[in-house]
Amino acid sequence: MNVEQLSEKIAALVFFIAPPYNKYRKTSVIIYRNKSYHLYKSLQKKTMETEVKKIPYLDLKAINEPYEKEIKDAINKVVNSGWYLQGEAVKRFEKSYAQFIGTEYCISCANGTDALKLMLMGELAIGKLQKGDEVIVPANTYFATVLAISSVGLTPVLVDANIDTLQIDDQLIEARITPKTKAIMIVHLYGKLAWTPKIAEICKKHHLLLFEDNAQGFGCSTTLSDSSEKPSKRRYTGNLSDAAAHSFYPSKNLGALGDAGAVTTNNRELAEAIMSLHEYGKIEDGIFRYQGVNSRMDEIQAAVLNVKLQYPENEQKARYRQVQLYLKHLDDSIKDRCIAAKLISPAHENVFHVFPFLTRKRDQLKAFLAENGVGTKIHYFRPPYLQPCYPEMNHLEFPVAKRIADEELSLPCNSSLNDEDIIRVSKLINQFLV
């Protein structure tokens, strides 16, 4: 319906509700019609003036745009080669990624969840773990972390989070250790470093394996080794443990154009076991040592990752800058109560895969931002121990993990956004919460 049609309808309505014996009825209708038209035009102009661009939570096309030509060239090279699995692109990626992380070995696979499973299956295969062994894991994590542990016959033992870091609370770990405890799985959730010197000490003291779920932590690092040593050279997550699992899902800071994952380790025996396990358990053609799985990275995903791995700090720098803008423009009272105290610094200990914002008005704020064109996400509204598939855990209580699940809202933060976007989101939050 155009403006003229709308004005006619309004005028007709006025005609019917006007006083029936008013001799100026026709004149009045004409006046009302003109007024309705100008009113509509005024409202239309005001709407156009106030209309602003939408701010998506994540625009993968825009994030990949700077590498578009290189990615297309790399994909075309794979297509033209006629070799789509276990080719040169995968070999190159495994070598380059191991060099970046700082490990001796990198074994690629189909996705991050498979990486978690293969890492644990490898330790089972070489006898470092046995079915039924307990693995300590944070209560605040994505479902896949816990699923990987239970799906290979190990027992997840959950530990609550620290509200200042949103990571596993290292002060609570020792109380959960039993004779059956054989490993700790830390998760660099949201891109924040989860490793601490105390966790390293606990593992050493109790002879525990240490694993990393580094699905969200690409590029995150620390300069600490353990409390008994002086600060050492920079070490990336994925090289702070016995083995680490990585995800290259498209939304990750280092993302493919589909699913892909990898395991990194310095343990040759473990690496060889995983190399076999991810290809059915094969050790040579027709000979299978293990009951493995079929989980391999394809050449196209490897080719894409080879391109993006050349620019490891691009996304990290953009996200860090945007977090600083949030801190600058958010009201002080909001920052104090809604941003974890130790989330931000030091800079190299957080790559902001997610920028988590905590508020009791999470759902209302999410709706308000959506009304104003701003996309957000929740990571994650139901923790693993409250999932229906783990009825044996449903009675457990982890107050910090539950609070995070109830209050966390991930704000837009990635290289597809500009400074004005972040400032606008900050102002909207101030408007709603102050």
Strand 243-247 to 209-213 pairing: parallel
Q: What is the pLDDT of residue 345?
A: 80
H or E element in which residue 125 lies: helix 112-125
Token couple for 47: 């709407």
Strand 282-284 to 155-159 pairing: unpaired
∠ CA 275-281-285, nearest 5°, is 95
What would the pLDDT profile of 371-420 be if each residue is shown by its tens digit? 999 999 999 999 999 999 999 999 999 999 999 999 999 999 999 999 99
Q: DSSP letter string over 373-410?
A: TB--B-S-SS-GGGSTT-TTTTT---HHHHHHHHHEEE
Bridge partners (DSSP) of residue 265 are 105, 243
Average pLDDT over residues 115-137: 98
Instruction: Compute the distance between CA of residue 252 and CA of residue 308 in angstroms, rounded to an integer.
Output: 12
Location of structure tokens 């996304």: 315
Percent of the chain at pLDDT exceeding 70: 86
Say which amino acid occupies 320.
Y
Token couple for 400: 């910090």
Average pLDDT over residues 151-180: 98
- Measured CA to CA in angstroms, residue 426 lies from 330, 331, 431 at distances of 5, 8, 9
pTM value is: 0.87
- The larger pLDDT score, comparing residue 371 to residue 41, is at 371
Instruction: Compute the distance between CA of residue 155 and CA of residue 152 in angstroms, rounded to an integer.
Output: 9
Bridge partners (DSSP) of residue 298 are 85
Instruction: Compute the distance between CA of residue 149 and CA of residue 172 in angstroms, rounded to an integer.
Output: 20
- Count of beta carbons in the 10 Å neighbourhood of residue 294: 11
H or E element in which residue 423 lies: helix 419-433
Give me the helix-helix angle, 68-81 and 299-308, nearest 10°: 150
Residue 175 near residue 202, CB atoms below 8 Å: no
SS3 245: strand
Give the neighbor-by-neighbor strand order of the sheet with 243-247. 105-109, 261-265, 243-247, 209-213, 181-187, 134-138, 155-159
Instruction: Compute the distance between CA of residue 265 and CA of residue 149 in angstroms, rounded to an integer.
Output: 18
Q: How many CA atoms lie within 13 A of 145 on its CB side?
A: 29
Who contacts 120 (Cβ-Cβ below 8 Å, separation ≥6)?
129, 135, 148, 149, 152, 154, 211
pLDDT surpasses 90 at 94:
yes
In the chain, what are the domains? 3-49 (no CATH), 61-308 (3.40.640.10), 312-433 (3.90.1150.10)
What's the residue count for the chain? 434
What would the pLDDT profile of 239-284 be if each residue is shown by its tens digit? 999 999 999 999 999 999 999 999 999 999 999 999 999 999 999 9
SS3 211: strand
Q: What is the pLDDT of residue 12?
A: 45
